[in-house]
Chain A
Amino acid sequence: MASNASADDNTLFVVQPEKITPGRRRMGRALVWSTFLLMLAAALVQALHVEGVIGYGFDNWRPLLYAYCLWACAIAFSRVLIFGESGKRSLFVLPAVMFIVAIVFFPLLFGLYVSFTDWNLSSLEGRKFNGLDNLRQMAGDPYYWNALTNMVYYVLAIIVEYSIAFGLALLLNSEIRARKFFRVAFLLPLMMSPIAVSWMIGKSMLEIRFGPIARFARWLGWESPTFFSSPEIAKFTIMVLDAWTYIPLMMLMLLAGLQAMPKEVLEAAKVDGAGPWKSFWEIVFPIMLPVSVTAVLIRIIFKLKLADIIIAVTAGGPGGATDSITSFIFREYRDRSNVGYGTLLAFVYLIIIILFMTALIRFVSRWLDRPA
């Protein structure tokens, strides 16, 4: 422990005044194991009860949850019993870890099992293991691959969003009056839920007959301004709606980066006679690169979850042209009750995301570390 603390200067060194007896240690371990066994026993009794092997049991699996909480508490308590004062350090992280394990780990395991079954909620017989059938079905499902390509387009749209956000951040960072007013006004779209946005803009302002934007488009000379009938325009409209909501997110991060930038650098450039264009590309942009990368990565993460607007405005139409993966699987669940297949699609998507994000982060960090 001590060697750990001295290895890194930025850590707190914890003194350990008390002596821990072997009995206390044994008690700590016994506590963990007994509660763990209790949890197992509860699970076993309930499983046998559900299967109909034994006649008694609980109404539902809730007791297992309580047993898990008890086990988690026992682990936390035993850390203090076994390691004393320095065991208290782990209590900072343990609750969050146990919480995530409970709500992510178990569902993921269960989901992995479901994704290899032919479970359909509307069919009368229950779930049955069907091996690789779902994967085969996925390979031949044009709508899934179509949704994946759509995701590529949606993610590429971030480049445009990023340039707009950067422009706005530069505007807000320049010498202007009423900066606070503009900052609040620019922030407001982020406060709105995608569902509200999809009615406010998608369903009413873009409505063909009465929507103000449609009227404006007609006034400009577009005969029948339909924003959701042709696949390209529909996709573009969804991109715009999503961009409208999330541009403030990137803008605020970039603005924070601009404000943290040392003023002397810019002034030095001005003295050297660099114009605004040149000083932006040669000074501001390179300095802002790390912040930009963070902002864009965060934005990509949010974009990969894109669904609400699509579900509410187009439901994937026309002909799946606006589908994101999430909205596609959502309809697979809701309309077709095709639970096993939908879950497999979700897991494949998860794997794609993990591979993509890891590669992206690797690439970006290598690129940033490169000597300029």
Chain B
Amino acid sequence: MPLERKYARGRHLRQARSLSARIAIYGALFLWTFVCIFPIYWTATTSFKIAPDVMRGHLIPWLDYAPNWKGWRSLGLSPDTILEFSNPRAQFLSRFSNSLICSLSASFLAVVLGSMAAYGLSRFNYRFGFMKNQDISFFFLSQLILPPVVLALPLLVLYKELAMLDTLAGVIFLYTLMVLPIVIWIMRDQFNSVPIELEEAALVDGLSIWGAFFQIVVPVVIPGLVASFILSMVLCWNEYFFASILTSTHATTLPAMVATQTGSQGVGWWTMAALTGASILPLLLVGIFLERFIVKGMAAGAVK
């Protein structure tokens, strides 16, 4: 009997301890969720505030302040202005499409160039002069270390001489360069995990190397390609440093626009919140709906 009771007490103790552990775990999880989500919530709600709400520090729409379209109206994106012509909206949309074009085409270019290079490095032995496979890999990955500030001014001058300053093409090439090492890093790992027998069978069947690559290998690694594409897109969309140096009027991207707006005095918080919110919204959606690809891309690089 006493032995049984002792066991029962032990079980209670264990249950109590596991309950408190549960509470601690969920407490920590919700705390960090709050830390991550609150700034987004804050931006979203502030975009519907007017001056008194901002000053009184109201936090919850409908409950302690009445939502107002003022911020979005100043961007021309509120329901009553959406159909009329609006200069700020036209400007915003041109920046938005610049960002979209730059990030999509740079990521596409980087994925094409990068996956080809990664495939070559994972499958063949090269020897260009003194450079062997390992050196070529290092050459690619070392681009990741290159700080943007080193390239900024020389590229500014060269772009000017090439008449590529403030053009989308110039920004796209630069962004491609920026994400290329990351794509190669992820894709090399992906190709290494594809069994080589696949292509050997294809070669025996009479396909060329390129045929084997496009028809046999690429379909297998499509998830990896998507992952690296999305990761590249995120990085390009958020890039500010080069955008602020290499563009002035025509090819300005969204972060550069946000930075100039937030830097100037006298712009209301509601406008800024609307602008910032609109600039992060696409990537928030990407993060929510394509999260598994982003996770996959990072996992591919980190875990060998």
Contact = CB atoms under 8 A, between A and B. Distances in A.
Interface of A: 4-5, 7-8, 10-15, 59-62, 64-65, 85, 88-93, 95-97, 99-100, 103-104, 106-108, 110-111, 114, 167-168, 171, 174, 176, 180, 182-201, 203-205, 209-210, 212, 215, 244, 249, 252-257, 259-260, 290-291, 294-295, 298, 301, 304-305, 307-308, 311-312, 325-326, 329-330, 333, 339, 342-343, 346-347, 349-350, 353-354, 357
A91 B26 CA distance: 53
B238 A201 contact: no
B296 to A, nearest CB: 8
B125 A8 contact: yes
Contacts, number: 306
B209 interface: yes
Interface string B267-289: 00100110010011001101110
21 contacts: A4-B127, A11-B123, A61-B161, A96-B180, A99-B180, A167-B28, A171-B29, A182-B33, A185-B32, A185-B36, A191-B283, A203-B272, A204-B43, A210-B54, A210-B269, A212-B42, A298-B301, A325-B147, A346-B152, A353-B147, A354-B145
A176 B23 CA distance: 11
Contacts of B149: 305, 307, 325-326, 329-330, 346, 349
A265 to B, nearest CB: 16
B294 interface: yes
A111 B147 CA distance: 13
Interface in B28-68: 28-29, 32-33, 35-37, 39-40, 42-43, 46, 54-55, 57, 59
A342 to B, nearest CB: 7
Given A188-B36, A294-B301, A7 B286 contact: no
Given A114-B154, A326-B149, A342-B153, A196 B258 contact: yes
Given A12-B209, A60-B162, A187 B295 contact: yes
B32 A168 contact: yes
Contacts of A90: 120, 126, 128
B251 interface: no
A89 to B, nearest CB: 5
B298 interface: yes
Contacts of A15: 203
Interface stretch (B5-13, B70-78, B169-177): B169-177
B229 to A, nearest CB: 15
A357 B143 CA distance: 13
